[in-house]
Chains A and B, each alone.
Chain A
Amino acid sequence: MPLHPSVSAPSGCACPAKTIVLTTCRFLAGGAFLLAATMKLQDPQLFMLSIDAFGLVPSALVPFFAYAIPWTEIVAGLLLVYGFWSRAAGVVGVGLYGVFTAALAWVYLSGADVDCGCFGGLFGRGDVGPFSLVRNTIFIACSAVVVLRGAGAASLDHVLGVECAHNPSSPPQAGQQAP
């Protein structure tokens, strides 16, 4: 007996290769979020200095962002890792990583010597450069894959029948209910 009527005919969820790719994408994007958030929340004031150094946020709002960013990363990271509401979490991932990458690119092109602050103080001083830009681009790609293709079979979405049967890129098949 399936857990949910829509789980009985998943559209492309159970293919092992696809499941591996989607799970890897989710864990990469979500895991990076969780690691980065944990390190930032260990010393929020250090993260405030990093945000302030970028000069993109008014000083009065820096403390707010120093808490809002890591907590958004935690919520999105947990959802991505567990594969629950994966597409929505993937959208958050694309948005956050996109903003981070744009900020890094702006600082890199302007030539300012600014600590990335991406992972708090975990790896010491995180210089802004091609490595951090490429790394963030990979995370954007991983998040985008989850948005476009869903969470895959190894996810709560699949087990609970939340999203898998409804893939926006392929219309529901005959006998399959849209959620």
Chain B
Amino acid sequence: MKQYVTRLLVIAAVALVAALVDGSVRGLKMPPKPDETRVPHLPPRPAGTPAPSDAAETSAPADSTGTATEDGFTPQLLAELMESPSTILIDARSDAEHRQGRIPNSFHLEPSDLGRDSAKSSLVQFLIDTAAGDPNVQFIIYCGGGDCHASRDLASQMIRYGFREDQIYMFEGGYPAWVEAGYEIQSGDPLF
């Protein structure tokens, strides 16, 4: 018995030393955590264009600094933002969920798609190029709503890989809130 305990301790010690050496070389640092409460700002509306009446009634106006508003990030606000070409929607849910139903014109991306040679590397490159080419672009990430970590994880990964933190927003209500609000959905193969 003593022999096995000794071996277990040796295994633990070897693993611990290796982990500490590896960790100190590569850095024991947590990835950045995005601010989940920030609300994206609405794009400037061309002069003379009336604001959609339903959105004006139901959504709280987001201020230009992108800070949280009273009502937070509602589906109505998202629908308004989607009218702007500077808004890019990203679905962080699983591939199966994305195919089954998604917010229209959203791309599918998972945290593990960044930083490795994945099938999504062309999409990642497209997003990087878009972010570089348009300083006003807003990436809005959503997932399954509720206690969903996929949006946060993807946002953290995007910030790590060079996307500006102030370009990334999270639609906390996610797909369920969008469906519940009665907006149209899209299904089938991913856009990219």
Q: Does B20 count as interface, using CB distance less than 8 angstroms? A: yes
Q: Does B189 count as interface, using CB distance less than 8 angstroms? A: no
Contact B110 A124, beta carbon cutoff 8 Å: yes
- Smallest Cβ distance from A175 to chain B, in angstroms? 21
Contact A67 B4, beta carbon cutoff 8 Å: no
Interface residue from B16, B31, B112, B153 paired with A124 (Cβ < 8 Å): B112
Contact B112 A120, beta carbon cutoff 8 Å: yes
Contact A67 B23, beta carbon cutoff 8 Å: yes
- Smallest Cβ distance from B5 to chain A, in angstroms? 9
CA A21 – CA B28 in complex, angstroms?
A: 40
Contact A49 B111, beta carbon cutoff 8 Å: yes
CA A5 – CA B22 in complex, angstroms?
A: 40
Q: Give the number of residues in B that approach A within 8 Å (Cβ atoms).
A: 41
Q: Within 8 Å CB of A71, what residues of B? A: 15-16, 18-19, 22
Contact A63 B153, beta carbon cutoff 8 Å: no
Interface residue from B8, B113, B116 paired with A88 (Cβ < 8 Å): B8
Q: Within 8 Å CB of A114, what residues of B? A: 149
Contact A112 B147, beta carbon cutoff 8 Å: yes
Interface of A, helix, strand, loop or mixed by DSSP: helix
Contact B11 A85, beta carbon cutoff 8 Å: yes
Q: Does B148 count as interface, using CB distance less than 8 angstroms? A: yes
Q: Does B87 count as interface, using CB distance less than 8 angstroms? A: no
- Smallest Cβ distance from A101 to chain B, in angstroms? 20
CA A114 – CA B28 in complex, angstroms?
A: 22
Q: Within 8 Å CB of B104, what residues of A? A: none
Q: Give the number of residues in A that approach B within 8 Å (Cβ atoms).
A: 44
- Smallest Cβ distance from B47 to chain A, in angstroms? 43
Q: Within 8 Å CB of B115, what residues of A? A: 43, 46
**Nearest CB to that of B155 among chain A residues?**
A49
Q: Does B51 count as interface, using CB distance less than 8 angstroms? A: no
Contact B11 A125, beta carbon cutoff 8 Å: no
Instruction: Tell me whether A75 and B118 are in contact in the complex, defined as CB-CB below 8 angstroms, given that A45-B160, A112-B147, A124-B112 are known contacts.
Output: no
Q: Does A92 count as interface, using CB distance less than 8 angstroms? A: yes
- Smallest Cβ distance from B14 to chain A, in angstroms? 5
CA A157 – CA B111 in complex, angstroms?
A: 41
Q: Within 8 Å CB of B29, what residues of A? A: 45, 63
- Smallest Cβ distance from B139 to chain A, in angstroms? 17
Q: Does B7 count as interface, using CB distance less than 8 angstroms? A: yes
Q: Within 8 Å CB of B160, what residues of A? A: 45
CA A68 – CA B116 in complex, angstroms?
A: 22
Interface residue from A42, A113, A122, A179 paired with B143 (Cβ < 8 Å): A113
Q: Within 8 Å CB of B3, what residues of A? A: 179
Contact A48 B30, beta carbon cutoff 8 Å: yes
CA A120 – CA B115 in complex, angstroms?
A: 12
Interface residue from A49, A87, A88 paired with B31 (Cβ < 8 Å): A49
A positions within 8 Å CB-CB of B: 41-46, 48-50, 52-53, 59, 62-64, 66-68, 70-72, 74-76, 79, 85, 87-89, 91-92, 110-115, 120-122, 124-125, 127, 179
Give 8 A-B contacts (CB < 8 Å), ordered by A residue.
A46-B111, A50-B153, A59-B30, A63-B29, A72-B15, A112-B147, A115-B149, A125-B150
